[in-house]
Amino acid sequence: MTTPEVTQIKIGKHMFGIIGLADAIADIAAEHADKAEDELARLLVERLGRRNYIPDNVKDVYGQAFVREYKKACGLQVVEEPEGLTIKVLGAGCNVCDSLENTIMETLAVLDLPADLEHVRDPDQIARYGVSGTPALIIDGQVKCVGRSPSFAELREWLQGNVDNKDTGGEMDKQVFIKNIPFSEPHKLADLVNYEEGRVVSRTLAQNPALSLTLFAFDAGEGVSTHTAPGDALVQVLDGEATIDIDGQEMVAGPGEVVVMPANVPHAVTAVQRFKMILTVVKQPVTIKS
């Protein structure tokens, strides 16, 4: 089965995955380049609505976003909308890195701020950011700290400061629980993340102070080094085979099998052969007081 092409674009305030966007833009540019923007929006919504769920009450918002992407693809001038918070934690998965990620989620919950939070674990990807150490925290493209975990007061100042002048997003300003997967249609989980040579590839489906849900694809021999997690972690193997080490006890898991790694117990995962899994971490939310 061919993996569907999913393009992440900003619609309103949040990022959504759209299937077939590039093909739709190419076809409409070839056939309807002379159309006005409102007609282009209608055509794009009509075509993309065949493979993506687009609620009737926000079709205009989707149409505006599709036209923006159309104009970018055609090299036309685009007035960019204000971006929402984009946060990246850089770190291979040590206790300090994982603790920083959880502290950020807790801070966002306390401040009631929406954000796109990503934990970048792959060393090659981390190197591209040019930081001198880990963990590192990047907010809206700016490196805020390297080699340490900031205090709650620092995080609150940085996060609140970055949203003071941002657009609320209008009709699309709503909480999003699951992301990076098209809604209201069946999918094979293993097809939503691709293998890449010498790398660990991930796609975050949900992330909040109580739970995270992430798809992983490991090339043979790649893995996540020994670390602990703040909650019980459920590994469900989708493809291939992996060795899982829990506090020195090794086991091998294959397709259809699950392994629970207890909270705060050292564990590691290594691909025996190319291996895909979905990782669910269930955590106890923590309330932080300033």
| pLDDT tens per residue across span 128-149 | 888 888 889 998 888 999 988 8
Here the tokens at position 253 are 């898991």
**Above 90 in pLDDT, residue 101?**
no
In whole numbers, what is the pLDDT of the chain averaged over residues?
A: 82
Q: How far apart are CA 175 and CA 161, in angstroms?
A: 21
Cβ-contact 206, 177 below 8 angstroms: yes
- The per-residue pLDDT for range 206-237, each reduced to its tens digit, is 877 788 888 889 999 988 878 777 789 999 99
In the structure, what pLDDT confidence band is assigned to residue 33 with cuts at 50, 70 and 90?
confident
Task: Select from 70, 41, 82 the least CA-distant residue to 169.
Answer: 82
Closest CA to 21 of 1, 61, 51: 51
Q: Would you place residue 153 in the very low, low, confident or very high pLDDT band (cuts 50, 70, 90)? A: confident
Which alpha helices (H) appear in the chain, and where do they start and end? 21-32, 37-48, 59-73, 95-111, 123-127, 152-163
Average pLDDT rounded to a whole number, residues 73-80: 75
Side-chain half-sphere exposure of 109, counting CA atoms within 13 A = 16
Residue extents of the structural domains in the chain: 6-73, 86-172, 189-283
Rounded-to-integer distance, Cα 258 and Cα 277, Å: 9
The pTM of the full predicted model, rounded to 2 decimals, is 0.53
Query: What fold is seen in the domain 86-172?
Result: Glutaredoxin (3.40.30)
Please tell me which residue, 78 or 32, carries the higher pLDDT value.
32
* CATH code, residues 189-283: 2.60.120.10
Do the two domains 86-172 and 189-283 of this chain adopt the same fold?
no
**How many C-beta neighbours within 10 Å does residue 177 have?**
10
Q: Each residue of 49-59: pLDDT tens digit?
A: 988 888 887 88
Contact 207, 213 (CB under 8 A): yes
In the chain, what are the helix, strand and coil shares in percent, each to the nearest 5? Answer: 30, 30, 40
The CA distance from 68 to 55, in Å, is 19
pLDDT confidence of residue 1: 44
What gap in Å lies between CA 240 and CA 244, rounded to an integer? Answer: 13
